[in-house]
């Protein structure tokens, strides 16, 4: 289901529709915005897709440009007066389904009057509108997006849920999660580590002594400050005077 349906008339407002569709897709995700030229794949039944999308959306943006009302067909009649006109049908279907319809007037296009509209579109003249002006497009787009959120409050919740799901999938894919709270100083978080070995940091350079086993569960001594005595650290089995790890060697003697 698309939360927002972008309605427009070819030859009048397709560029404005493309701008609004792109902006809303960036804010809410492509899955939340339906615009026929972008959302219907090649070979699909466009009538079926249009009918399904307009009835399932939460808000319809009707893009109204300077030629929207007076654009005429080959027979000289206004397109808006043709019951088969898709722009007209989408708006009428949205009203019938109880979908919120927001007119978006481009540039200096005047407000619509009910007397100029077919009866089934007369409610469009009473709908509070938004305007998109080239010189003020940033602010106007913000206001349009905010109007969409007001009309479709669940949209923001779905966007947040998808963001959290993507973040979880990314953590699962990498195998690394951040579970640290406040950290002061240096903190290192890692998963698998390779090229291990003993590294000695000298006065002027770092020396790598070679690879080998690292006892992960053995004793570690950390000495800080001055130290003037012996520190013994024994890890693993050690042979000392025919004993292995404190056990008597029984090969020929007690």
State the pLDDT at residue 97.
95
Spell out the domains of the chain, with CATH numbers in brackets: 4-165 (3.40.50.10140)
Q: What was the pLDDT predicted at 210?
A: 62
Q: What is the pLDDT of residue 48?
A: 93
**d(C-alpha 37, C-alpha 34), whole Å:** 9
pLDDT per residue as tens, the chain (254 positions) = 689 999 999 999 899 999 999 999 999 999 999 998 889 999 999 899 999 999 999 999 999 999 999 999 988 999 999 999 999 999 999 999 999 999 999 999 999 999 999 999 999 999 999 999 999 999 999 999 999 999 998 988 888 888 888 888 888 877 655 556 666 666 665 555 455 555 555 555 555 566 655 555 555 555 555 555 555 555 555 554 444 444 444 444 44
Say what the pLDDT of residue 246 is: 46
> Tokens representing 21?
């569709």
The predicted pLDDT at position 173 comes to: 78
Contact status, residue 35 vs residue 50, Cβ threshold 8 Å? no
pTM over 0.85: no
Q: Do the Cβ atoms of 133 and 140 come closer than 8 Å? A: yes
Tokens at 50, concatenated? 């249009």
| Residue 135, pLDDT score | 94
pLDDT of residue 180: 60
């Amino acid at each position: 289901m698309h939360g927002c349906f972008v309605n427009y008339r070819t030859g009048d407002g397709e560029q404005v529709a493309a701008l609004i569709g792109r902006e809303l897709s960036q804010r809410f995700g492509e899955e939340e915005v339906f615009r026929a030229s972008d959302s219907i794949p090649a070979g699909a039944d466009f009538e079926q897709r249009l009918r399904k999308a307009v009835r399932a959306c939460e808000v319809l943006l009707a893009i109204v440009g300077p030629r929207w009302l007076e654009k005429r067909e080959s027979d000289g009649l206004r397109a808006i007066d043709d019951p088969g006109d898709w722009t007209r049908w989408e708006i009428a279907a949205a009203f019938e389904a109880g979908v919120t319809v927001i007119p978006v007037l481009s540039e200096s296009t005047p407000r619509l009057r009910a007397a100029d509209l077919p009866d089934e579109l007369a409610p469009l003249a009473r709908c509070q509108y938004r305007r998109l002006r080239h010189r003020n497009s940033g602010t106007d787009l913000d206001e349009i997006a905010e109007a969409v959120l007001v009309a479709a409050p669940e949209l923001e919740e779905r966007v947040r849920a998808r963001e959290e799901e993507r973040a979880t999938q990314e953590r699962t894919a990498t195998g690394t999660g951040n579970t640290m709270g406040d950290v002061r100083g240096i903190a290192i978080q890692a998963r698998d580590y390779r090229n291990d070995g003993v590294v000695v940091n000298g006065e002027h350079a770092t020396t790598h002594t070679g690879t080998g086993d690292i006892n992960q569960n053995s004793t570690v001594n950390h000495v800080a400050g001055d130290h003037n005595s012996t520190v013994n650290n024994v890890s693993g089995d050690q042979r000392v005077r025919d004993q292995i790890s404190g056990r008597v060697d029984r090969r020929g003697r007690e």
